[in-house]
């Protein structure tokens, strides 16, 4: 397929329809065909994703505790589904700026938010493995969080870094790697091997001589002390663009499996000993990893009758209730896997979970199905639980406020602070959702939130949540609102008319901040991953 100007215009229109949530089945089929038949269209998509990821990370810095006035969010926009979407850079930028800039008043608020979060330490990765590692400077241990702007100096040995987007990078010392965001890093010197799952397509590694964007692959880079970099593709493909002394990028080239290229200020050239080096990079290194015990509670919702949903932990059964005197049998329906929970705006549930109110690391993961173009009043609370005292709590729902982000996108709220994703969930399809909470050790009010939809990192925020919050948004507090309950389909203190409409299935609650690999395993296998399973991936 020849990629013409008319094709670009058509693809812009199709991608805009997808982002706006109004794409038809005919348009979706046309979009699939374009991606399947045009390599240039796919490359165009990857460049758009790289820009989206960069804007995503910049925007995420601008989320913080909301002021007393209605909060204005610096919104992250990326294509609604990575395997469907392409679009021009102009279209992507326009979509982001439409939410991000907004107006003079919003820009003022955004500046204040950005200023308030400049001194925060945002975790964007973790050291997931090491072997015979010696460090230049502060020593790091497997399991340790790594932060935006941190520079990793490895004197010798191996170190594996897992980024929040899911990309894994293994350094071989001596090496120096600077972490820019959950989606990109800079290799200053040394050897690197990157393994990027489909959910992290668009991950980028750059330096003074080249910018490498992943297309779903495994690749290696070797940066020497003279400023030259060799790029090797072990699986899949990458897009590599040479950089000159002024930092300007040349026309990108696609390198495929078993191909290699050397990039230097004098230009690009072939790698003479390519086969020898490729064989070396293909070898696997057994790494030492941190093994932390993680406890899970799992509700399968496979029951066909009754008012109890069994839990994997005794005493945590979810009790179904209704605001009307109707039979609860209507709550039992077909789910994503076997049975599921059907919530009609009247039925909700709550489960006693000891210690859920404690301010600690936590992950919730579940499947959710929301009707296509669901009415905005149906956007009730999907999950909620108390945190600490004074009426504070966590609430997960979908966004119904266009001033805060795309309608239907995943939304997580704590007090008056919130973070909004970009993929609309109200399309009549099942989506896997995971929300990861990581309290910051230096503050009682700070919390980092990461949102994943269908295994892909959508939004993350290092933010200071509100120090005070109203006990209820309407009506009297429900019985037990301040106790250790996980609320399903209704938030504590919500009005009876403000309940969730949709289907829910396979709910997991973990007492740890799960890694992207663990989240993907839950999504695909419906069970927690063992250390052996993760090591084999």
Question: Does residue 236 come out as left (phi exceeding 0), alpha (psi in the -120 to 50 range) or beta?
Answer: left
Separation between Cα atoms, residue 58 and residue 56, nearest integer Å: 6
Q: What confidence tens digit (pLDDT) does each residue in 290-322 have?
A: 877 899 999 999 999 999 999 999 999 999 999
Separation between Cα atoms, residue 404 and residue 3, nearest integer Å: 36
Instruction: Say what the pLDDT of residue 357 is.
Output: 87
Instruction: Say what the pLDDT of residue 445 is.
Output: 54
Instruction: Say what the pLDDT of residue 68 is.
Output: 36
Which segments of 136-208 are extended strands (E)? 145-147, 151-163, 168-181, 184-195, 204-206
Q: Residues with Cβ < 8 Å from 383, sequence gap 6 or more? A: 364, 366, 394, 395, 396, 486, 487, 488, 507
DSSP letter at 167? Answer: -
Instruction: Say what the pLDDT of residue 114 is.
Output: 32
Does residue 136 contact residue 100 with C-beta atoms inside 8 Å? no
The predicted model scores a pTM of: 0.76
pLDDT along the chain (537 residues), means of 10: 64 70 70 72 58 42 37 34 36 32 32 34 92 93 94 97 97 97 97 96 96 94 93 97 89 96 90 93 90 92 95 96 83 95 93 91 97 91 84 88 93 84 96 92 71 93 41 36 80 73 97 96 95 69
Instruction: Say what the pLDDT of residue 463 is.
Output: 44
Instruction: Say what the pLDDT of residue 389 is.
Output: 62
Instruction: Say what the pLDDT of residue 56 is.
Output: 43
Instruction: Say what the pLDDT of residue 358 is.
Output: 87
């Amino acid at each position: 397929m020849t990629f013409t100007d008319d094709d670009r215009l058509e693809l812009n229109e199709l991608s805009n329809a997808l982002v706006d949530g109004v794409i038809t089945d005919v348009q979706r089929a046309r979009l699939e065909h374009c991606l399947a038949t045009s390599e240039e269209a796919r490359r165009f998509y990857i460049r758009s994703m790289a820009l989206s990821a960069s804007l995503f990370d910049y925007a995420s810095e601008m989320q913080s505790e909301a002021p007393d006035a209605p909060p204005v969010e610096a919104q992250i926009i990326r294509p609604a589904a990575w395997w469907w979407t392409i679009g021009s850079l102009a279209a992507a930028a326009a979509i982001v700026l439409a939410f991000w800039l907004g107006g003079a008043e919003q820009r003022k608020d955004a500046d204040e938010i950005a200023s308030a979060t400049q001194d925060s330490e945002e975790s964007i990765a973790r050291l997931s493995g090491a072997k015979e590692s010696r460090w230049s400077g502060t020593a790091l241990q497997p399991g340790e969080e790594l932060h935006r702007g941190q520079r990793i100096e490895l004197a010798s040995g191996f170190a594996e870094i897992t980024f929040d987007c899911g990309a894994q990078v293994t350094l071989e010392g001596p090496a120096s790697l600077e972490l820019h965001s959950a989606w990109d890093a800079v290799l200053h010197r040394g050897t690197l091997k990157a393994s990027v799952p489909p959910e992290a397509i668009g991950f980028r590694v750059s330096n003074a001589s080249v910018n490498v964007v992943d297309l779903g692959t495994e690749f290696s880079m070797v940066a020497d002390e003279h400023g030259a970099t060799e790029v090797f593709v072990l699986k899949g493909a990458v897009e590599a663009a040479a950089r000159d002394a002024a930092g300007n990028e040349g026309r990108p080239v696609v390198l495929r499996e078993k191909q290699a290229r050397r990039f230097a200020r004098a230009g690009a050239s072939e790698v003479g000993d390519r086969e020898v080096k490729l064989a070396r990079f293909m070898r696997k290194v057994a790494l030492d990893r941190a093994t932390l015990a993680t406890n899970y509670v799992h509700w399968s919702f496979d029951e066909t009758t009754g008012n109890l949903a069994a839990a994997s932990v005794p005493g945590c059964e979810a009790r179904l209730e209704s605001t009307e005197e109707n039979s609860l049998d209507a709550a039992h329906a077909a789910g994503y896997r076997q049975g599921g929970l059907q919530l009609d705006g009247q039925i909700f549930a709550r489960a006693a979970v000891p210690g859920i109110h404690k301010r600690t690391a936590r992950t919730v993961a579940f499947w959710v199905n929301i009707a296509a173009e669901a009415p905005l009043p149906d956007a009730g609370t999907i999950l909620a639980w108390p945190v600490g005292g004074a009426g504070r709590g966590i609430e997960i729902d979908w966004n119904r406020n266009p001033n805060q982000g795309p309608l239907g996108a995943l939304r997580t709220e704590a007090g008056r602070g919130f973070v909004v994703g970009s993929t609309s969930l109200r399309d009549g399809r099942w989506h896997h959702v995971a929300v990861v909470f990581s309290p910051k050790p230096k503050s009682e009010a700070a919390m980092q939130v990461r949102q994943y939809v269908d295994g892909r990192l959508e939004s993350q925020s290092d933010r200071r949540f509100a120090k005070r919050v109203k006990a209820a948004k309407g009506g009297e507090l429900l019985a037990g609102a301040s106790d250790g309950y996980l609320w399903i389909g209704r938030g504590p203190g919500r009005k009876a008319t403000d309940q969730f409409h949709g289907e829910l299935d396979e709910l997991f609650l973990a007492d740890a901040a799960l890694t992207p690999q663990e989240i993907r395993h839950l999504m695909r296998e419906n069970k927690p991953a063992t250390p052996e399973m993760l090591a084999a991936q």
